[in-house]
Amino acid sequence: MSTPFPFTAVVGQDDLRLALLLNAVSPAVGGVLVRGEKGTAKSTAVRALSALMPALDVVAGCRFSCDPGAPDPACPDGPHGPGASETRPARMVELPVGASEDRLVGALDIERALAEGVKAFEPGLLADAHRGILYVDEVNLLHDHLVDLLLDAAAMGASYVEREGVSVRHASRFLLVGTMNPEEGELRPQLLDRFGLTVEVAASREPDQRVEVVRRRLAHDDDPAGFAARWADEEAAVRQRIVAARELLPSVRLGDGALRQIAATCAAFEVDGMRADIVMARTATALAAWAGRVDVLAEDVRQAALLALPHRRRRNPFDAPGLDEEKLDDTLEEFSGEGRGEGEEPDPDDGPGGGGGRPAPDDDGPRNDDGAAEPGAGEEGGERPADAGSGERTPARASEPFRTKVLSVPGIGEGAAGRRSRARTEHGRTTGARRPRGALTKLHLAATVQAAAPHQRARGRSGRGLVVRRDDLRQATREGREGNLVLFVVDASGSMAARQRMGAVKGAVLSLLLDAYQRRDKVGLVTFRGSGAELALPPTSSVDAAAVRLESLPTGGRTPLAAGLLKAHDVLRVERLRDAARRPLVVVVTDGRATGGPEPVALAERAARLFAADGTACVVVDCESGPVRLGLAGRLADGLDGVAVTLDELRADSIAGLVRDVQGTRRAA
């Protein structure tokens, strides 16, 4: 077994180490979600924590790690009477991103269950992690249904396995630690809320600290055992402190004053529900125990808020995480006194930032009475003539995002789990049955009985039993939803560059990005203007990155529509090689003009036919405005074998857009 990097040798990352230690002291805190860029010691710190956890006494031979002093009465390996016990280190179990549901919760032997009526249960990772650490690296890439199972077990302290009427339940209490790189996509808010604490980590920008990181890493790699021996005393001291804090924890007093500060802080940052209050209370108590105190102080409440609230405060998906510490200090100060009047309330005008309300946009110029941006210096109040000039304009701010209608890819796919298009998935409604390919995971009971019934006489069936053989087993086929690659192809030419018009276009794309975030899609961004097109954002799961690129999008120049379409087609070709199962949805945002290069209209038509030939689902968002419209976007949609929608029709609450969908509206080539 390899020697882990010592926990106490990790340089910096104070918040990360503190959050992990608080969970070691009080697992009821609810685990830690560690967010940060790659190469910031996230995994190293988590793996190092397992060596600090106190050893466990377990019932000898129990696959579910029952405590000899209080065995689980419903343990599948029980009942456990007085008997032998053994001591072993606390486990750290890693859940791979590609794990199956059966690997997580355990599996039943379907053949024995049908033929013999016995519960032949093979425990999964949730059983292995009982009374230890369950570590999920890249938790944001884990399929949603696995995250749901994982967090339900963490909340209830037990795992339930149901297979065709056969039921198994076992204890599953563990310290849940997840790590993620936000650039690869976010977790849904309701799943974020199930993690007790969250920590943002980043590499130090101090040269001396970076030097020390490299020095220690190289020393450990050269001689892991020797390096660990040099830190043995520090490791032992932290281990003893964890044990002492656990013993002190039941004696810590959480007074009414601290509770009032906790409640006021959660209310000030507008967190939903009561879980934040409970987590803050448990965290503040653990902080006091870790400090060797029996009373919770205001400093404990403040630190608990910084760890428990950033991922719970109400914010838009594209807003930066974190808390406004000035607002936090003001709230704690306001509710620090014991003699607060009954009718007093915090000042509702706390200003922007920190999650107390929607952050105010940065002003880049004067605004009118409705809050809309006024034309900047040297800009016309109306729309600029098409393709007038080639100079860049100051990027226009996006208008307020809105809820969009559902755009989906026709047919049935087999891509990654998501919420956009129909797909064959492991979870969803049952649509049929087939012979299993590999291990049987979802039995279709009726189809299995139907396959076995004609052979009962030949198999010598006696009595009421049904003789079922492996060839009779049928796998249930299920239909759910998949995530897609939504590739935005945005016209940034002069004909789109008028400030008011481009602001509406950016608002529409931002709304579609928000929809993609909620539906677990990958997104990419191609822009075209002037003399060519560029891939502004390669396909990624981070819609935050796409929103940032969109906000700073330069505009102006001619309209090389063909170049934009060809660039998008090339991006899709490469992505199909990387992930053939993920189906694309191309969203072209343009007024349909084509003015760049020789024979621009003919070239654009030929480029559009490439998408039609590939069968790629396409939507053209028609940005043409004004009393006289040329209908160019509609003709482009015909060439793409797609559908055109206006900005108004894109809204989910638009009367014109209530029924229209990509599904069923593609025109014949």
Segment 177-192, tens digit of pLDDT: 888 877 666 776 667 7
pLDDT in tens, 445-486: 788 888 888 888 888 766 556 788 888 888 888 888 888 999
Quickly list DSSP for 648-668: TTTBTT-STTSS--STTTPPP
- What is the per-residue pLDDT across 406-430, written as a single tens digit (0 to 9) for each? 899 999 998 887 889 999 887 777 8
Domain residue spans in the chain?
A: 7-54+90-202, 250-334, 430-480, 485-646
The most confident of 84-98, 148-162, 629-643, by mean pLDDT: 629-643
Answer yes or no: pTM beyond 0.85.
no
Instruction: Judge whether residue 607 has pLDDT over 90.
Output: yes
The Cα–Cα gap between 393 and 68 comes to 72
Question: 7-54+90-202 and 485-646 share one CATH topology?
Answer: yes
Can you read off the two tokens belonging to residue 243? 């044990």
> What was the pLDDT predicted at 550?
84
Is residue 331 within 8 Å of 39, Cβ to Cβ? no
Whether the CB-CB separation of 395 and 549 falls below 8 Å is answered with: no
Which has the closest alpha carbon to 331: 309, 352, 347?
Answer: 347
Most confident residue range from 88-97, 150-159, 291-300, 644-653: 291-300
Beta bridge partners of 167: 162
Tokens standing for residue 69: 């002093």
Of the segments 83-87, 144-148, 611-615, which one has the largest average pLDDT value? 611-615
- Do the beta carbons of residue 440 and residue 426 sit within 8 Å? no
Task: State residue 386's pLDDT score.
Answer: 41
What is the per-residue pLDDT for 115? 59
Q: What is the pLDDT of residue 187?
A: 74
Q: CA angle at residue 190 from 187 to 192, to 5 degrees?
A: 50
| Residue 269 three-state SS | coil
Q: Evaluate if residue 102 carries a pLDDT over 70.
A: yes
Residue that the structure tokens 């902080």 belong to: 287
Average pLDDT score over residue span 34-62: 85
What angle in degrees, to the nearest 10, is found between the helix axes of 298-308 and 14-25?
100
Cα–Cα distance between 144 and 417 in angstroms, integer?
A: 7
In the structure, what pLDDT confidence band is assigned to residue 350 with cuts at 50, 70 and 90? very low
Residues 666, 640: Cα–Cα separation, whole Å? 9
Q: Which two tokens stand for residue 64?
A: 């579910």
The whole-number pLDDT of residue 321 equals: 65
Per CATH, the number for 250-334 is 1.10.8.80
How far apart are the C-alpha atoms of 257 and 253, rounded to whole Å?
11
Most confident of the ranges 42-56, 109-123, 243-257, 481-495: 243-257
**DSSP label at 413?**
B
Exposed / middle / buried, residue 280 (Cβ in 10 Å: 0-12, 13-18, 19+): buried
Which comes out higher in pLDDT, residue 361 or 86? Answer: 86
Q: What angle do CA 350, 351, 353 make, to 5 degrees?
A: 105
User: Ramachandran region of residue 42, left (φ > 0), alpha (ψ -120 to 50) or beta?
Assistant: alpha
Burial class (CB in 10 A: 0-12, 13-18, 19+), 627: exposed
The DSSP element (H or E) to which 613 belongs, if any, is: helix 600-614
3-state secondary structure (DSSP) of residue 85: strand
Domain covering 7-54+90-202 in this structure, CATH number: 3.40.50.300
Q: What are phi and psi of 544, to 5 degrees?
A: -60, -45
Angle at 323 between CA 319 and CA 329, to 5 degrees: 150
| Short-list 53, 50, 88, CA closest to 67 | 88
Which CATH number is 485-646 given? 3.40.50.410
How many angstroms separate the CA atoms of 201 and 615, rounded?
43
Which of these, 308, 344, 302, lies nearest to 327 by C-alpha position? 302
> Over the chain, what is the mean pLDDT?
81
Round to whole Å and give the CA distance between 197 and 31: 6
- What are the tens digits of pLDDT across the range 544-580? 788 888 888 888 888 999 999 999 999 999 999 888 8
Contact 58, 50 (CB under 8 A): no
Better-predicted residue by pLDDT, 176 or 102: 176
Q: Are 45 and 9 in contact (CB under 8 A)?
A: no
What CA–CA distance (Å, rounded) separates 8 from 3? 14
Average pLDDT estimate for 392-399: 68
SS (H, E, C) 536-587: EEEEECCHHHHHHHHHCCCECCCCCHHHHHHHHHHHHHHHHHHCCCCCEEEE
Tokens of 530: 């002037």
Q: Which residues are catalytic?
A: 275
